Structure 1
Amino acid sequence: MRSPLLGAALLTLCVASASGEPSYRMPVYPEKAPPAARTQAEVETLLAGSDATAPAKPLKVLLVAGPKDHSTGEHDYPAWQKVWKPLLERTPQTTVEDAWELPTEEQAADADVMVFYQRGRWDDDRSFVIDPFLARGGGLVYIHWAVDGRGGEAEFAKRIGLASKGGSISYRHGLLHMDFSPGADHPIARNLDKVDFVDEAYWRLTGDPSKLDLIGTSEEEGEPRPLFWTVERGRGRVFVSIPGHYMWTFDDPVFRALLLRGIAWAGRADVDRFNELVTLDARVE
């Protein structure tokens, strides 16, 4: 089933439900029909085997956004931060703060996991914040264009596995046929095999793909390209998702599960702690 557009206009979602509760969907989609919603059966399969008895330890999450830099319904970092802060706060024992562009030293010192959705950068200011955070065992999550190094991509890749140099990578918007068999033994990819997203792939990034703990790939130019992966840097953990271009992707329960599991994994928490959020206002038939 496809969600219809409101005539030819962009799909703008309500900010509050009839009960007065906030909406946990992204507020604006691109000016084109979104992909088909997931079925209830797909969601049940995805969440099978969850441990509902696992205690939730306290987890402090910092959401880092920046100025929007693409068209309607694309790269809307401020809207994501506004929606996902209250979304994550619904989970017991979860504290969520936000930062703009670059966390302060104090914010990083207080966080267990920092999630970056912005146009990325790597420079001395970032190194000053990120390197001590990783050294003490902090978790990092990078979504989509957050992997851009803007000239510092070689050093950035040493921290997160692969990073981009804007203007020198390959990319494609459209249907992504994801293969999660490389991550079959990883808790983030549990119950996932072949999944389609309508989003954007990046490849030909700086770094060594052989050193990644690969979660999922899509075939681009005849080769499987890393689109989801993890790395461990000393005591720290990093999860990266290249998808995240279109705002409807954040309302896809499969992508939500991947991202929520990635946040929990990076914070050394149970990957099922956010399960109640997977379908909340998500695009499920």
Structure 2
Amino acid sequence: MSAPHIVVFTRTTGFRHDSIPDGVEALRQLGGEHGMRVTATEDPGELAAALPGSAAVVFLSTSGDVLTDDARRALRGHLADGGGFMGVHGASTTEYGWPWFGEDCVGAVFDGHPELQPGVVVVEDHDHPATAHLGDRWEFTDEWYNFSVNPRGRVRVLATADETTYTGGRMGVDHPLVWCHELAGGRSFYTALGHTSESFADPDFRRHLLGGLTWAARLA
């Protein structure tokens, strides 16, 4: 049996995160360690061609309008056929003009963030590979994304932000930060974390990514 194929997409037309190369390298390493073949691209044509037969696609801090019509059709078909999707950090700042992507693929749309600062992630669901290794409270440094609508009720929330531990939160006591769902047919996982290069060297964050990816790809 051939190794599961993971496609990592990193195109940006808006803000570009300096951490993208570190994220790609982390995913390549995790893939190599766990029997996955990882392809990274910023070309929507290559993305569309690579999606059929792939186990999962990762949108790693993408931003703005990054897809062609062909790539949009390929992504919808990938999920409709049971393929997996993982969105990391800036993925929720992508394809604002295509409601399906934000609402049914990612699960929520980015709506600003405060300055980079330490805070606490509250893990509320430990029965998922992305959070099973974490304690109830996880200290982290990130941008603490706000979202235009709270996705709870449409998605399975795995972790939230404790807004009392940082400044600039706008969602209140229930601020989802990590979730999963199957709204588009296949498995989708999203984590708002991952702004800094340092995060991709953090063992807990790497296990968080690996858990999300293997779940989305139906390998866990």
What TM-score, normalized to structure 1?
Answer: 0.65
Residues 62-211 of structure 1 aligned to structure 2 (within 5 Å) = 62-66=7-11, 74-81=17-24, 83-84=25-26, 86-91=28-33, 93-102=35-44, 103-121=46-64, 125=69, 126-152=71-97, 154-156=99-101, 157-164=103-110, 168-181=111-124, 183-192=125-134, 193-206=136-149, 208-211=151-154
Q: How far did 1:96 drift?
A: 1.4
Q: Could you tell me whether the CA contact under 8 Å between 2:151 and 2:176 is conserved in 1?
A: no
Q: Could you tell me whether the CA contact under 8 Å between 2:126 and 2:132 is conserved in 1?
A: yes
Structure 1 CA distance for aligned equivalents of residues 192 and 26 of structure 2: 18
Please tell me whether Structure 1 or Structure 2 has the larger radius of gyration of its CA atoms. 1
Q: How far did 1:67 drift?
A: 5.0
Sort the Cα spacing of 1:269 and 1:219 in 2 relative to 1 into closer, same or farther, 3 A: same
Q: Could you tell me whether the CA contact under 8 Å between 1:154 and 1:163 is conserved in 2?
A: no
Sort the Cα spacing of 1:67 and 1:153 in 2 relative to 1 into closer, same or farther, 3 A: closer
Q: Secondary structure at the match of 2:187?
A: strand
Structure 1 CA distance for aligned equivalents of residues 83 and 30 of structure 2: 18
Structure 2 CA distance for aligned equivalents of residues 141 and 107 of structure 1: 16
Q: Could you tell me whether the CA contact under 8 Å between 2:129 and 2:208 is conserved in 1?
A: no
Report the aligned-residue RMSD.
2.7
Sort the Cα spacing of 1:187 and 1:119 in 2 relative to 1 into closer, same or farther, 3 A: closer
In structure 1, the residue matched to 2:212 is 262
Structure 1 CA distance for aligned equivalents of residues 131 and 28 of structure 2: 25
Q: Secondary structure at the match of 1:90?
A: helix
Residue 218, structure 1, aligned to residue 161, structure 2: yes
Which deviates more from structure 2 when the two are superposed, residues 98-107 or residues 189-198?
Answer: 98-107
Q: Secondary structure at the match of 2:143?
A: strand
The gaps in structure 1 that reach 5 residues or longer are 1-55, 271-285
Which deviates more from structure 2 when the two are superposed, residues 189-198 or residues 201-210?
Answer: 201-210
Tell me the alpha carbon deviations over residues 181-209 of structure 1, each in whole angstroms, 9 at most, x when there is no partner: 2x133232114221110111111334633
Which deviates more from structure 2 when the two are superposed, residues 257-266 or residues 99-108?
Answer: 99-108
Aligned positions, number: 208
Q: Secondary structure at the match of 1:114?
A: strand
Structure 2 CA distance for aligned equivalents of residues 146 and 254 of structure 1: 20
Tell me the alpha carbon deviations over residues 120-157 of structure 1, each in whole angstroms, 9 at most, x when there is no partner: 34666243121100011111111111111353263321
Which amino acid is 1:243 matched to? Answer: L
Q: Could you tell me whether the CA contact under 8 Å between 2:26 and 2:200 is conserved in 1?
A: no
Which amino acid is 2:73 matched to? Answer: F
In structure 1, the residue matched to 2:166 is none
Q: Could you tell me whether the CA contact under 8 Å between 2:113 and 2:143 is conserved in 1?
A: no
Structure 2 CA distance for aligned equivalents of residues 104 and 170 of structure 1: 29
